[in-house]
Amino acid sequence: MTGFRIDRRSLLVAAGGLPLMASAASAATPKAQGQPLAGKFNLPDPPKERMRWAVVGLGSFAVGQMMPGFVASSHARMTAFVSGSPDKAHDLGARYGVSKFYDYSTFDRIADDKEIDAVYIALPVALHAEYTIRAFKAGKHVLCEKPMASTVAECEAMIAAARAANRQLGIAYRVHFEPNNMDAIKRLRAGEIGDLRYFSGEAGFVANPDYPPHKWRLRKALAGGGSMYDIGIYALNAALWAVDEAPVSVSAVYSTPANDPRFKEVEGGVEWRLRFPSGISAQGASSYCWTYATRQRFFGAEGSISMDPASDYNQINTTMQHADLTPVTLRAGNPAVQFSAQIDAFCMAAAANQPHQTPGEMGLRDIRIIQAIYQSADADGQIVRL
């Protein structure tokens, strides 16, 4: 299946070891001389050794965030575009040096394309299952955008297809590869704020029905759900990452504004609570009716960590406080690397035949919980056992 390979050196460099070194020489006079490289660099693999990707769906997120992520990655390169807009695909192809094109009717032919190792799916949610399964049938790895799919059944079918194809399925929870979120969880696990006692988080933005990338998000048949599916999943997933237990029950209510024409099919807002076996709870809210905000707070027995924004593309602000109430600003890296870091992590996992860090099972878990949230909210807050 290969065509790409990630050598031992790359894996070492990614793990923080082995800087690139060359012959050293003392610069004694103002004469140009070779010097060894000092420091560690996450250098890209040679193009021929990188995993080759088809991008499926050329929307604003794929073009604005993920394509630069592929370009900046060490282990990946784009070799094919799949789109229903041939002009757009060819224009982007010329710009990115991509020369293979498929549309949705010819998609299955990627099975015969030796220059595609993996597929990144950035279609509306309702199409995730179909294209993921078709990609597995074509023998490719799949990194699929979040939320994983419209229904639990679809998620299960996707996982089964991955297994049948012996290929890896990752869900694009980019925040798991964002340095500041990783650092916050690492500190939590290391006990820097003591035992975790509570999580609260919010994620929302104002859905604008006139803005094309928002438009399909307001249609249940395409989006699978509303604010909770699209943006609320960030706070939910963060809670689950932090607590690291399977929740036992959920309760939730809607806060969709009455008579708002945007929300005929999907909810405009939902507030939720998860309970965990250890006795703690997490509470959160999502909305299509607030100004953009992504926030999360971890309350520990000995301190707390707050993030605001918590899941932005370009800025993540994190502070940690202890009993003395003096916030320490934490800066673990530039958030913008999350896109290439996610891609590289998937490449390395697939090359090692290991599950991706945010696998299909995580996507399924979250959809299952969101469905329980909807079930509770449909019943005006009644508790739903998981």
Site for its own copies in 278-307 (CB under 8 A): 279-281, 283-285, 287, 289-293, 295, 297, 299-304, 306
Complex with its own copies: residue 73 or 358, whichever CB lies closer: 73
Inter-axis angle of helices 179-189 and 233-243, to 10 degrees?
Answer: 30
Q: Which stretch binds its own copies (CB under 8 A): 163-171, 332-340, 344-352, 365-373?
A: 332-340
Instruction: Candidates 99, 106, 314, 353: give the one binding its own copies (CB under 8 A).
Output: 314
User: Which of 35/166 has CB closer to its own copies?
Assistant: 35
Q: Which is nearer to its own copies, 321 or 357 (CB)?
A: 321
- Counting every residue written for the chain, the total comes to 386
Q: Between 51 and 80, how does the x/- string for binding to its own copies read (CB under 8 A)? A: ------xxxx--xx---x--xx--------
- At residue 350, what is the residue type? A
- Asked if 256 is part of the footprint of its own copies (rule: CB under 8 A), the reply reads yes
Binders in 167-186 for its own copies, by CB under 8 A? none
Binding-residue pattern over the window 110 to 149 for its own copies, x denoting contact by CB under 8 A: -------------xx-xx--xx------------------
DSSP 245: S
**Which residues, 355 to 384, sit near its own copies by CB under 8 A?**
380-383
Judged by CB under 8 A, the residue of 22, 112, 114, 264 near its own copies is 22
290, 120, 280, 277: which is closest to 204 by C-alpha?
290
CB count within 10 Å of CB 167 equals: 22
Active site residues: 146, 234
Question: Mask 192-231, x = binds its own copies (CB under 8 A)?
Answer: -xx--xx-x-x-x-x----xxx-xx--x-xx---------
The torsion of the CA quartet 362, 367, 373, 379, rounded to 10 degrees, works out to -150
Query: Degrees (nearest 5) of the Cα angle 376, 220, 268?
Result: 60
Among 141, 275, 356, 365, binds its own copies (CB under 8 A): 275
Instruction: Please say which residue, 88 or 137, places its beta carbon nearer to its own copies.
Output: 88
Tally of CB atoms within 10 A around 37: 11
Instruction: Determine how many CB atoms are found less than 10 A away from the CB of residue 323.
Output: 7
Residue 12 makes contact with its own copies by CB under 8 A? no
E strand or H helix that includes residue 307: strand 304-307
Q: Is 277 in the site for its own copies (CB under 8 A)?
A: no
Q: Which CB atom, from 58 or from 362, has the smaller least distance to its own copies?
A: 58
Min dist CB 320 to its own copies, Å, is 9
What would the two tokens of residue 46 be?
Answer: 């040679």
Q: Work out whether 265 is an interface residue with its own copies (CB under 8 A).
A: no
Contact residue for its own copies among 2, 8, 15, 23 (CB under 8 A): 23
> Rounded to whole angstroms, how far apart are CA atoms 221 and 242?
32
Query: What is the signed CA dihedral for 233, 127, 150, 358, rounded to 10 degrees?
Result: -40
Interface segment toward its own copies; rule CB under 8 A; list 86-94, 167-175, 236-244, 359-367: 86-94
**For residue 304, which of 201, 176, 170 has the smallest C-alpha distance?**
201
Smallest distance from its own copies to CB 88, Å: 3
H helix or E strand, kind and range, residue 77: strand 76-82
Phi, psi of 146 (to 5 degrees): -90, 155
Question: For residues 51 and 351, is the Cβ–Cβ distance under 8 A?
Answer: yes
> Taking CB under 8 A as the rule, does residue 45 contact its own copies?
yes
